[in-house]
Amino acid sequence: MENKNKKCFSTEHKEIDAISFCLECNIYMCNKCENLHSKLFNNHHSYKLDKDFNEIFTGLCKYKNHKNEYEFFCKTHNELCCAVCISKIKKEGKGQHTDCDVCLIEDIKNEKKNKFNENIKKLENLSNKIDELINQLKIIFEKINKDKEKIKLKIQNIFTKIRNTINDREDELLYEVDKKYGDTYFNENIIKDCEKLPNKIKISLENGKKMNEKWNEENKLNLLINDCISIENNINEINLINVNITKCQNLSEIKINFYPEEENEIQKFLETIKNFGTIRNLYYFNGSNILNNNDEKLLIEWLPLKPKKINLLLNSNKDGDTIKIFSEKIKDKSPTLVIIMSKDGYKFGGYTTQQWKKGANTDNNAFVFSLDKKMKYKILNPKNATYLDSWWGFGPYENAIVIYDKCTTNNSGNYIGNGTYDIKESYVLNGGKQYFTVKSFEVYHMEF
């Protein structure tokens, strides 16, 4: 029976929420009724209607429409049941326990009594631990929430930088447009200056017509010379405008444009922004900049055993891409897994159970893989599983993967081969291309 919104059984208090239930009287009681009831029937079993409990025991079968007292016990399901529950007729809620191991309640009494004392001890032990377990749970959830907020803040900071960078670039380009047009053509202020000329010329002409009558006036000679200079300047300005107009007519053939202008190029950039960033669970390869969740699951399936721990030994983006760094990071470590991403976006690599020693290394359990093809390729020539010297890779002679020094800038040295491993398609690890540049690579140490 659900305790939610149960009301007091008393007609006087029927609008008041019940706080307890009496098993013997089969009634719900409010606070006032419970006080009176406990004085009258102190040997009755009353249950508090605590919000944390959804059901209370009434002695009646809980199945809908049965309304019978519990008389039997189902050993199969470890629950009480009534006569309707064990009915041979399986219809309309009847016969749920027909085919079960059922006995009378009296028959299970001693067994349950003995187990009861045992369970009380277990419950006492658990009760002592529950506070500690709850505190541990709170600490775990606090850490989870901190990690969540940390990731959200990281995303916000990154996208703030992206937005600021885009806005700054927009301002730069807009300024560059103004400057480019200003340098190539003429400033629109020239037009404003030109619009003033007609009036200036008109005044100069009027003054010029009167000048012939005043040349003999000594006291006005400086004024006359000034008017002459003004007329000469007006002539020069008009000639300059004419030259500028001619230049503008010639420059109008020059086109200034913004690139990229192709819609597919713009769309490609928008897709990059749209798909920028990934939220994923870090199962084992914590710190990887190459793997997604599906990649991780594949690699775990391909390993001979499920690892207890995977340690990142080298990330080329942070540690560097030289042979020296590779040799130092993997020294005395085994087994190891190498994951490579080419600048074309292909993801591949290899696994070896043996340490990387100078020269060719033997390993019967080595393999290489393509995450794009979702394929694992077993070793064919165990004596040449890996190689380390002036270059490193999987398969030293009929090579599968060859990585040279400074591989993230080496455009011609790194290459894919066939032979040492069971690869049927040529250069399949790198999408059919033999040579490649490494975008990044990671090396992990397995603990089984």
Cα-trace Rg, the chain? 45
pLDDT tens track for 72-96:
999 999 999 999 999 887 776 688 8
135, 141, 144, 150: CA torsion to nearest 10: -90
pLDDT tens track for 225-255:
887 887 788 788 777 777 777 766 666 666 7
DSSP of 57-126? --SB--STTT--B--EEETTTTEEE-TTTT-S--STT--TTTTS-EEEHHHHHHHHHHHHHHHHHHHHHH
Angle at 63 between CA 61 and CA 67, to 5 degrees: 50
Q: Say if residues 315 and 445 touch (Cβ distance below 8 Å).
A: no
pLDDT tens track for 109-146:
988 888 888 888 888 888 878 888 888 889 989 988 99
- Structure tokens of 88? 């041979």
Helix (H, G, I), strand (E, B) or coil at 347: strand
Q: How confident is the model at residue 330 (pLDDT cuts 50, 70, 90)?
A: very high
Q: Is the pLDDT of residue 51 over 60?
A: no
H helix and E strand count, the chain? 8, 17
First-to-last alpha carbon distance for the chain, in angstroms, is: 52
- Structure tokens of 315? 């990330």
pLDDT tens track for 377-432:
999 989 999 999 999 999 876 678 999 999 988 765 678 877 789 988 888 999 98
Q: Please tell me which residue, 447 or 224, carries the higher pLDDT value.
A: 447
Nearest to 72 by CA among 23, 107, 26: 107
